[in-house]
Amino acid sequence: MAECGASGSGSSGDSLDKSITLPPDEIFRNLENAKRFAIDIGGSLTKLAYYSTVQHKVAKVRSFDHSDKDTEQDHEPPYEISVQEEVTARLHFVKFENTYIEACLDFIKDHLVNTETKVIQATGGGAYKFKDLIEEKLQLKVDKEDVMTCLIKGCNFVLKNIPQEAFVYQKGSNPEFRFQTHQPSVFPYLLVSVGSGVSIVKVETEDRFEWIGGSSIGGGTFWGLGALLTKTKSFDELLHLASRGQHANVDMLVQDIYGGAHQTLGLSGNLIASSFGKSATADTEFSKEDMAKSLLHMISNDIGQLACLYAKLHCLDRVYFGGFFIRGHPVTMRTITYSINFFSKGEVQALFLRHEGYLGAIGAFLKGAEQDNPNQYSWEENYAGSSGLMSSSPELCPTQRARSGTFDLLEMDRLERPLVNLPLLLDPSSYVPDTVDLTDDALARKYWLTCFEEALDGVVKRAVASQPGSVDAAERAEKFRQKYWDKLQTLRHQPFAYGTLTVRSLLDTREHCLNEFNFPDPYSKVKQKDNGVALKCFQRVIHSLDALGWEERQLALVKGLLAGNVFDWGAKAVSDVLESDPQFGFEEAKRKLQERPWLVDSYSNWLQRLKGPPHKCALIFADNSGVDVILGVFPFVRELLSRGTEVILACNSGPALNDVTYSESLIVAERIAAMDPVVRSALREERLLLTRTGSSSPCLDLRTWSGPCKGGHIWALGPLASQSVSLSVCSGADSPVLT
């Protein structure tokens, strides 16, 4: 813990009465490897962006050289595992109050070792105010970037790269935060940036946008006027006051003018006829809370109204809001949403962004990094390193705020290649990979959060066991435990912190946290062993299948697919059984399958279909390693191949639980090919293709496909196949639906 000698009282930028100590390894992470900087200095907040490389361990698998001995007989593992260092790119964003800027610049200066850059991209109104300070402290030349261009670039970037970036806010509904699913195309849209003033921008394409208007009544008005009226200094305090006030004491409402008659006239008596109208006629004192609330209503309504008028004029029905005025404050979002609904009669949708505060910084960074083509990559939000939404909301419990409210972080990892929607998706915009939204189901949320909490010990143990040679494994595992535990607690209070809460996002967060502490693949050993055991059984299974008649064989194959699925360490019930009884085998699993009809049973349709001409091409998503992929999936693949169907077998790009990874699947396929001529020739003739899903998550998301796209030729399997083969088991409900 080094001291970040900033002073200030956390939430109030004006008082300098106490200094704070911050753990810089939690805030300016990877600063020593920072390559490039950008900074966005707004009226009250500074957002620093830097690009750095992260060294972390990855588990690699490699075949032994078996050329001259029969592997069938020995008891060695089928392949070797090595942990290697890998360097990946990461984008860091840190947000803090302007009060800390000098201290932060000092800190950065002291920790900046490896950078070669000579410039820093700067945007925002404060860029020119702090130019000299930055140049002096960092010895970097300040390159000023256009505010609006940065904002739009940043907005496009987050909308493209962060699946659950935008949300609608509806106070009182369940859930209050409803996240917009990934849109294949977000254009055109209206961006309303509410900073000190308001800018209204129509965005038509990635880089074509038009400033169509603005208003001077914005965040600065709320703050300035609010400070005058209430003698309150800080913005957050004002919002806090507002959240406790009654605007009807200050505003003249319709019912004040019409008396009780508004009901008979069909008017809503609570409509504000004149903001602050009562303070003109009465000589009473008004409470600070009431005035702050009235002011907030006045400004939010006005912004909403103008946004609507512009949206209508330009025929747009989606308005994204950004800027420092919003900052995830529920009371602000509520009034803006209300106003938009009211003035547009529901025709215009108000959307807020989880990372609205970072748009300018992201844009400035992208401007500076244009030669690196950051847009050709896909980026993924790192849940381990990012603060959740509303970390600075005054409505959160104070303890939570004190810790995270001062600094807010966002980290994004660069993925190896750009991800696209799986071309097979019929309607990508309506595809929702997760069918259970834990944000709106409080009971399910509690259940799953408890599950993950209870499973944490096991994960920690496994993580340590996966790195027997490492001296600090136990220590790192403990840090992992703490981090993930904290995340789970955050999610208990703010289920919306990282978008819609799902079992997938809980698993992803765990993977991110594990990676963070260099446990790239805690299940590598388990998978290695399972794969070895299963490979030994492969030929026996094939023989018994071949001995069956055609129809019997089809049923056996499907049962095999289903039975294989049982071998999922992600499912708590299964992992308990596997832990206690390692000998629990494939046959037992098959026996334990219920007799048909199954819960979702389209086997008859499937059989009928098999009697017809062969499918042209099948896309199969593999799940667990070991028995599942080797004894369940491969025999099924083999059957399809012998029918003349081409098969694409998609596996996770990176490790996740005991799911088979792409690199493992290559070795497994190679070993099977050595035993089976059908698979061998198919591989050689490329009728069997192995590919990556683009995911490192235990749950399938077809929106981030990185595999090959064979034009329109891919024929996916029917619902039965996709359901049984795909990774639906972990939650039992994440069934992706293919065409």
Helix (H, G, I), strand (E, B) or coil at 274: strand
Per DSSP, which regions of 294-418 are E strands?
318-322, 349-353, 379-381, 408-414
Whose Cβ is closer to another protein: residue 183's or residue 305's? 305
Whose Cβ is closer to another protein: residue 255's or residue 391's? 255
Cβ contact 523:466 at 8 Å = yes
Cβ contact 203:159 at 8 Å = no
Whose Cβ is closer to another protein: residue 260's or residue 549's? 260
Cβ contact 691:708 at 8 Å = yes
Residue 464, number of CB atoms within 10 A of its CB: 19
Residue 702, number of CB atoms within 10 A of its CB: 22
- Taking the complex as a whole, the smallest distance from the CB of residue 226 to another protein amounts, in Å, to 9
Whose Cβ is closer to another protein: residue 12's or residue 88's? 12
Helix (H, G, I), strand (E, B) or coil at 168: strand
Whose Cβ is closer to another protein: residue 238's or residue 353's? 238
- Taking the complex as a whole, the smallest distance from the CB of residue 465 to another protein amounts, in Å, to 56
What is the phi/psi pair of residue 690, to 5°?
-105, 140
The Cα–Cα gap between 401 and 11 comes to 9
Whose Cβ is closer to another protein: residue 43's or residue 718's? 43
Structure tokens at 518: 């260099």
- Taking the complex as a whole, the smallest distance from the CB of residue 210 to another protein amounts, in Å, to 9
- Taking the complex as a whole, the smallest distance from the CB of residue 125 to another protein amounts, in Å, to 4
Cβ contact 427:738 at 8 Å = no
Of 223, 219, 199, 209, residue with least CA distance to 306: 199
- Taking the complex as a whole, the smallest distance from the CB of residue 127 to another protein amounts, in Å, to 10
Beta strands 252-253 and 209-215, pairing class: unpaired
With b for 16 or more beta-carbon neighbours within 10 A and e for fewer, the 288-301 pattern comes to bbbbbbbbbbbbbb
The Cα–Cα gap between 291 and 244 comes to 10
Whose Cβ is closer to another protein: residue 254's or residue 412's? 254
Whose Cβ is closer to another protein: residue 283's or residue 427's? 283
User: Where do contacts with another protein occur on this chain (CB under 8 A)?
Assistant: 14, 43-44, 125, 128, 146, 148, 195-197, 211, 213-221, 223-225, 227-229, 233, 250-252, 254, 256-262, 265, 271-281, 283, 286, 291, 298, 301-302, 305-306, 309-310, 312-313, 343
Whose Cβ is closer to another protein: residue 278's or residue 414's? 278
H or E segment at 110?
A: helix 101-111
AA letter at 280: A
Cβ contact 219:225 at 8 Å = no
- Taking the complex as a whole, the smallest distance from the CB of residue 461 to another protein amounts, in Å, to 53
- Taking the complex as a whole, the smallest distance from the CB of residue 320 to another protein amounts, in Å, to 19
The answer for 244, left when phi > 0, alpha when psi is -120 to 50, beta otherwise, is: alpha
- Taking the complex as a whole, the smallest distance from the CB of residue 356 to another protein amounts, in Å, to 18
Cβ contact 294:229 at 8 Å = no
Of 31, 82, 83, residue with least CA distance to 54: 31
Whose Cβ is closer to another protein: residue 258's or residue 485's? 258
Give the contacts of 664 (CB within 8 A, at least 6 positions apart): 61, 79, 527, 531, 625, 651
The Cα–Cα gap between 615 and 647 comes to 10
The Cα–Cα gap between 592 and 401 comes to 50
- Taking the complex as a whole, the smallest distance from the CB of residue 619 to another protein amounts, in Å, to 48
- Taking the complex as a whole, the smallest distance from the CB of residue 349 to another protein amounts, in Å, to 18
Give the contacts of 482 (CB within 8 A, at least 6 positions apart): none
- Taking the complex as a whole, the smallest distance from the CB of residue 330 to another protein amounts, in Å, to 22
AA letter at 310: Y
- The DSSP symbol for 595 reads P
Whose Cβ is closer to another protein: residue 74's or residue 204's? 204
Whose Cβ is closer to another protein: residue 252's or residue 438's? 252
- Taking the complex as a whole, the smallest distance from the CB of residue 251 to another protein amounts, in Å, to 7
- Taking the complex as a whole, the smallest distance from the CB of residue 149 to another protein amounts, in Å, to 8
Whose Cβ is closer to another protein: residue 145's or residue 701's? 145
